């Protein structure tokens, strides 16, 4: 386990790493008490190595961001530093963003936001969600756990109980709440690598957040690269139909080609 001890009284965060993956970790960096990252180098196929950065972020809460906007600005500035890697690197940003991106609307699609968020978000976008969406657009990232259809319990990432004020101040009645504020982000040109992303409830922790998991495979990594297509010759067939002079010229050319060809023994030829 790699974690931050320097700022443990404020936020603090870290990584829990599988022993199978630990051998590929090349470095760990702590930018602040809210942002840290791992760099990895691991083999993919024969004589091929991939570089990967995994960023862990813990954004300020919505009340904190509203009361002190500089806190949110500083957080995303630290996050910008963490994602500054070469374009050939794989990049994954994950954590508690305390932001509601919300369900994607038709207006979002018209504005091209379907390149950054999927169809299966939850709730309505708040100001922290707009902060996050602007960050996705700026860095060409995609919130992958908004892209897969699941029951709502596997889409929402935080749940709990709130006081039901409609029942009166003295009432102890509560109502449940379910929100999606934790995300896994990837480059928006690498989404085809993912086969699933969802949240899991019932984990044995005291947190009101759910475990969010994504599955991806590098088996078809080269299929995401666009293959260069050879240029095709194009013919103006419409002009051949509507222009009599072109039609006669074409007929004469074909007739001359047939006359110039030597006779063949096979009539099909």
DSSP-assigned letters across all residues of 91-127? EEEEEE------PPPHHHHHTTGGGTB-S---S---H
Count the neighbouring beta carbons within 10 Å of the beta carbon of residue 75.
24
What does the angle CA 35 – CA 15 – CA 12 come to, to the nearest 5 degrees? 45
For residue 20, the 8-state DSSP code is H
Question: Encoding tokens for residue 47?
Answer: 């004589």
Q: For 70-87, what is the mean pLDDT?
A: 94
Q: For 121-144, what is the mean pLDDT?
A: 94
Confirm if 182 and 199 have CB atoms less than 8 A apart.
yes
Give whichever of 11-15, 136-140, 202-206, 222-226 has the largest mean pLDDT: 136-140
* Domains detected in the chain: 2-224 (3.60.10)
Query: What pLDDT was estimated at residue 154?
Result: 92
Query: What pLDDT was estimated at residue 162?
Result: 78
Per-residue pLDDT tens for 163-193? Answer: 888 888 888 888 887 899 999 999 999 999 9
> Residue 126: pLDDT band by 50, 70, 90 thresholds?
very high
Residue 268 has pLDDT above 70, yes or no: yes
> Residue 234: pLDDT band by 50, 70, 90 thresholds?
confident
Query: What pLDDT was estimated at residue 6?
Result: 47
Q: What backbone phi and psi angles, to 5 degrees, belong to 210?
A: -95, 160
Cα–chain center distance at 257: 57
Residue 61 has pLDDT above 70, yes or no: yes
What separation, in Å, do the N-terminal and C-terminal C-alpha atoms of the chain show?
A: 74
Question: Encoding tokens for residue 3?
Answer: 């974690």
**Mean pLDDT rounded to a whole number for the chain:** 86
Question: Encoding tokens for residue 186?
Answer: 């990837």
Q: Can you tell me the distance from the alpha carbon of 253 to that of 258, in angstroms, rounded to the nearest whole number?
A: 9
Residue 5 has pLDDT above 60, yes or no: no
Query: What pLDDT was estimated at residue 54?
Result: 96
Query: What pLDDT was estimated at residue 228?
Result: 58
Q: For 237-243, what is the mean pLDDT?
A: 78
Percent of the chain with pLDDT over 70: 89
Q: Can you tell me the distance from the alpha carbon of 83 to that of 135, in angstroms, rounded to the nearest whole number?
A: 11
Confirm if 130 and 102 have CB atoms less than 8 A apart.
no
Q: For 60-87, what is the mean pLDDT?
A: 93
Query: Which value, in Å, is the radius of gyration of the alpha carbons in the chain?
Result: 28
> Residue 261: pLDDT band by 50, 70, 90 thresholds?
confident
């Amino acid at each position: 386990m790699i974690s931050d001890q320097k700022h443990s009284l404020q936020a603090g965060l870290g990584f829990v790493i599988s022993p199978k993956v630990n051998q590929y970790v090349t470095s760990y960096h702590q930018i602040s008490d809210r942002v840290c990252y791992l760099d990895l180098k691991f083999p993919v196929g024969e004589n091929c190595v991939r570089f990967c950065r995994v960023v862990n972020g813990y954004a300020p809460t919505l009340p904190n961001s509203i009361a002190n906007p500089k806190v949110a600005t500083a957080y995303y500035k630290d996050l910008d530093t963490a994602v500054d890697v070469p374009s050939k690197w794989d990049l994954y940003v994950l954590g508690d963003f305390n932001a509601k991106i919300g369900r994607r609307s038709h207006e979002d699609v018209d504005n091209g936001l379907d390149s950054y968020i999927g169809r299966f978000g939850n709730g309505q976008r708040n100001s922290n969600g707009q902060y996050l969406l602007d960050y996705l657009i700026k860095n060409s990232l995609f919130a992958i756990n908004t892209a897969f259809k699941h029951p709502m319990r596997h889409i929402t990432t935080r749940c709990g109980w709130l006081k039901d004020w409609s029942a009166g101040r003295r009432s102890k009645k509560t109502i449940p709440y379910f929100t999606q504020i934790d995300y896994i982000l990837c480059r928006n040109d690498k989404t085809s690598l993912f086969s699933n992303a969802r949240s899991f409830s019932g984990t044995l922790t005291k947190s009101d957040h759910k475990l969010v998991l994504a599955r991806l495979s590098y088996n078809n990594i080269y299929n995401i690269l666009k293959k260069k297509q050879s240029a095709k010759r194009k013919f103006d067939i419409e002009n051949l139909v509507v222009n009599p002079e072109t039609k006669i010229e074409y007929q004469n050319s074909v007739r001359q080609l047939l006359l110039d060809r030597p006779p063949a023994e096979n009539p099909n030829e």
